[in-house]
Amino acid sequence: MCKAIIFGGTTEGRLLAEFLKRAEVRTHVCTATEYGGSLLEEDGVLTVSEERLDEGQMKALIEKLKPELVVDATHPFAKDVTCNIKNACRCCGTEYIRLLREGLLSGKESGQGKAQCIYADSVKDAVTLLAPTEGKILVTTGSKELAAFTELENYKERVIARVLSTAESVKHCKELGFEGKNLICMQGPFSKELNKAMIRQYGCSYMVTKASGNAGGFAEKIEAALECGCTPVIIGRPYEEEGIDFNSCKALLCQKLDIVTRQHVSLVGIGMGSESTMTKEASCAIDQAELIIGAKRMAEAAVHPGQDVFYEYSSVKIAEYIENHREYEKIAVVFSGDIGFYSGAKKLTALLEDRGFEISLIPGISSVSYFMGRTGLSWDDAVITSNHGIVNSLIPLIRDNHKVFSILGKPEDVRTLAASLMEYGLDKVRLYVGENLSYSDEKITTDYPANMTNLETSGLCVVAAVNDLAETTAVNPLSARRDSEFIRGRVPMTKEEVRTVSVSKLGLKPYSICYDVGAGTGSVSIEMAVRVPKGKVYAIEKKEEAVSLLRENKKKFMADNMEIIEGLAPEALEGLPAPTHVFIGGSSGNMREILCSVFAKNPSAAVVINCIALESVSQALSLAKELGAGDEEVIQMSVSRASKVGSYTMMTGENPITIISFTGKGV
């Protein structure tokens, strides 16, 4: 008793038997020769018989073993054998599956777009097809067809003729110019091993044969040529039959026999994309994989003939695909650069681990190490970030640091960056832009912003910005700006001491998304922007004069991560991303509506409210208790400043400010 019978004879049949053996599916394999059987090792799961069976013997074997299905993995040109297997299965009522070698019969394209065999309607057509090629040709069509090959340029060197060992045949070949090392006189049919030995001995790139059927040793010729990397040129149209390829057959068996395979997934960093930047470990993992997964550009750079490919970059979809395709035991998911450098491998690793897959993490050469090496810049002192798929301002980073490296994702990104650097007076920054790294059309451009405002790039690229004046342009996030540093008009401004405490109570992070409601001159907005160089600040202000001052202070402090929103809150908050931190310096009587709008976007947002009037303090405290998580903090500040009155120094008090801080209740 067994679950499956495989009629072998091909490499695919052997590989399928080994697959079922690993899955512990009881299988019997029938091979036509002792050699074929010797390639498989019997055990408690796999049994092997080594003899040619006729239709009746096949039927008897199926009736004895009672398999759930039979797989015909015999050679595609063994037409009579396939017919016998089909008839035996039909008589026994057993499901029949035909396993075909992809690309062999109909010239279908393989994974890299190249057919494994070339077909010609006649000997003359075969000669025409071979004329523009290079490499030696083993011709096995006999001496009578040999004259046509004399049309090939340098045929006496290129063509090796294999003919019958008769005096008449040898004489005819000699008259055509075939003799000595270019003539093989032997009686066939030949085994696959002998065919392989001849192909390798003569270094043949092509082998010409007729589609003569199994009796003439045709199958052995084709197998030998393909295993040696020699392209078969077959005279005669192939016998067409229906069937499925190897991986489709494995998928069908998994479904019908309830096979759960042990899948191993390698997450592979392939470097910049060219083979030259791929590590040996990465190449090895890719070579061993049955399935290659990745975004189209990366997957196409990695896939080899005979491998299946799935073009996808979504981690969720990749994990689902692997889980739903248990026929693949070894899978390589490829990523550009290094899997630890702004890579989707992080999310995919977590998803695959949750599903219990075996995972190997294979690092690659990152774009930062490759590009900085190509430009001669050290990167141990560089700030490294990415603007691929996200939008962050690079200006604050370039303003405050000597070197900044970033990945850019859109064709206009370099032009936009150059224009912004010019706008903020950072025109002395040197930009290094890299495109198509490692490919033949790799391009590295180095110049100042003024010469890059019209630069055309191919989209995805990298940039290194070198600011030699960073010591003078940097804004210190650890100290507060003095009131005198801001451009001021008649618009009220949150004073330095109050501003420092208020921003401190917010607890900002580098990636925070901030609102400054009632921004005024922008003093609080600027302080927040300095502290969130990789985040964003939205300064909301309704007064025209204040908006003008906001623009001036934004430019002065190079706060490109600050966006000015003209309008009255809460209506002005519509369409803005959810905030992580909110400062309210003026609510225009809309405090409840503003807070409700904020917590609708982010129920856990941190809020700081500054109040002068006692009525505002009362309302803010009431709302903090109603909407907050219960950890509200209340501070009242009274600041006095010294001033000269005659020969004396007197303290003059400012209005006391109540600072109320709390967080939302959360979800």
Q: What is the pLDDT of residues 145-177, one digit of tens each?
A: 899 999 999 999 999 999 988 889 999 999 999
Domain with residues 483-663, CATH architecture: 3-Layer(aba) Sandwich (3.40)
What pLDDT is recorded for position 34? 57
Q: How far apart are CA 424 and CA 186, in angstroms?
A: 84
- The Cα-based distances of 471 to 396, 443, 453 in angstroms read 13, 31, 25
Count of alpha carbons within 13 angstroms of residue 605, beta-carbon side: 26
List, edge to edge, every strand of the sheet that includes 657-663. 562-566, 536-541, 513-517, 581-584, 606-611, 657-663, 633-637
As a whole number, mean pLDDT of residues 469-483 equals 91
Q: How far apart are CA 367 and CA 488, in angstroms?
A: 45
Beta-carbon contacts of residue 659 (< 8 Å; ≥ 6 apart):
498, 501, 502, 505, 608, 609, 610, 634, 635, 636, 637
* DSSP strands (E only) in 470-621: 513-517, 536-541, 562-566, 581-584, 606-611
As a whole number, mean pLDDT of residues 49-73 equals 92
Q: How far apart are CA 506 and CA 581, in angstroms?
A: 6
Judge residue 93's burial from the number of C-beta atoms within 10 Å of its C-beta, 0-12 exposed, 13-18 middle, 19 or more buried: exposed
Q: Which amino acid is at 631?
A: D
The answer to whether 249 touches 98, Cβ cutoff 8 Å, is no
Please tell me the least confidently modeled range out of 44-48, 50-54, 78-82, 282-286: 78-82
* The two three-digit tokens of residue 504, written as one number: 């401190």
CATH topology of domain 261-365: Cobalt-precorrin-4 Transmethylase; domain 1 (3.40.1010)
Judge residue 55's burial from the number of C-beta atoms within 10 Å of its C-beta, 0-12 exposed, 13-18 middle, 19 or more buried: middle
Q: SS3 of 577, please?
A: coil
What pLDDT is recorded for position 110? 39
* The two three-digit tokens of residue 574, written as one number: 């519509």
Torsion sign (Cα): 598, 599, 604, 608: positive
Q: Are strands 640-645 and 648-653 parallel, antiparallel or unpaired?
A: antiparallel
Domain with residues 118-235, CATH architecture: 3-Layer(aba) Sandwich (3.40)
As a whole number, mean pLDDT of residues 379-385 equals 94
Taking 70 as the threshold, does the pLDDT of residue 103 lie above it?
A: no
The answer to whether 519 touches 550, Cβ cutoff 8 Å, is yes
Q: How far apart are CA 563 and CA 134, in angstroms?
A: 64
What are the phi and psi torsion angles at 560 (to 5°)?
-70, -15
pLDDT digits (tens, 9 = 90+) for 278-324: 999 999 999 999 999 999 988 998 998 778 999 999 999 999 999 99
The answer to whether 466 touches 378, Cβ cutoff 8 Å, is no
Alpha carbon dihedral 70, 76, 80, 84, in 10-degree steps, equals 10
Q: What burial letters (b/e) apply to 161-180, b meaning 16+ CB within 10 Å?
A: bbbeeeeebbebbeebebee
Q: pLDDT tier at 106 (50, 70, 90 boundaries)?
A: very low
Count of alpha carbons within 13 angstroms of residue 601, beta-carbon side: 21
* The two three-digit tokens of residue 451, written as one number: 């010469």
As a whole number, mean pLDDT of residues 505-524 equals 95
pLDDT digits (tens, 9 = 90+) for 434-474: 999 998 889 999 999 999 999 988 878 999 999 999 999 99
What pLDDT is recorded for position 104? 47
Residue 392: alpha-carbon gap to chain centroid: 22
Taking 50 as the threshold, does the pLDDT of residue 422 lie above it?
A: yes
Q: pLDDT tier at 13 (50, 70, 90 boundaries)?
A: confident
Q: How far apart are CA 220 and CA 235, in angstroms?
A: 16
Q: How far apart are CA 625 and CA 622, in angstroms?
A: 5
Q: Which helix (H) or strand (E) holds 332?
A: strand 330-335
CATH number of this structure's domain 368-473, picked from the four choices 3.30.70.2970, 3.30.950.10, 3.90.1150.170, 3.30.70.1230: 3.30.950.10
Q: What percent of the chain has pLDDT over 70?
A: 95
Q: How far apart are CA 74 and CA 412, in angstroms?
A: 57
Taking 80 as the threshold, does the pLDDT of residue 112 lie above it?
A: no
Q: Which amino acid is at 405?
A: F
Q: What's the full length of the chain, in residues?
A: 667
As a whole number, mean pLDDT of residues 214-226 equals 77
The answer to whether 49 touches 30, Cβ cutoff 8 Å, is yes
pLDDT digits (tens, 9 = 90+) for 519-545: 999 999 999 999 999 899 999 999 999
Residue 339: alpha-carbon gap to chain centroid: 10
As a whole number, mean pLDDT of residues 428-437 equals 95
Q: How far apart are CA 145 and CA 133, in angstroms?
A: 20
pLDDT digits (tens, 9 = 90+) for 579-603: 999 999 999 999 999 999 999 999 9
Q: How far apart are CA 302 and CA 388, in angstroms?
A: 22
Please tell me the least confidently modeled range out of 5-19, 134-148, 420-434, 498-512: 5-19
What pLDDT is recorded for position 239? 61
Q: Is the peptide bond before 570 cis (omega within 30 degrees of 0)?
A: yes
Taking 60 as the threshold, does the pLDDT of residue 113 lie above it?
A: no
Q: How far apart are CA 149 and CA 133, in angstroms?
A: 13
* The two three-digit tokens of residue 404, written as one number: 């900044």
As a whole number, mean pLDDT of residues 348-355 equals 94
Same fold for the pair 118-235 and 483-663 = yes
Please tell me the least confidently modeled range out of 121-130, 238-247, 392-401, 635-644: 238-247
As a whole number, mean pLDDT of residues 267-284 equals 92
Taking 60 as the threshold, does the pLDDT of residue 31 lie above it?
A: yes
What pLDDT is recorded for position 238? 60
Q: What is the mean pLDDT of the chain?
A: 90
Q: How far apart are CA 404 and CA 386, in angstroms?
A: 10
CATH number of 4-98: 3.40.50.20
Q: pLDDT tier at 216 (50, 70, 90 boundaries)?
A: low
* Domain definitions of the chain by residue range: 4-98, 118-235, 261-365, 368-473, 483-663
**Helix segments in 376-447, DSSP class H:** 395-400, 413-423
The answer to whether 332 touches 238, Cβ cutoff 8 Å, is no
pTM of the model: 0.69
- More confident call, 239 vs 287: 287
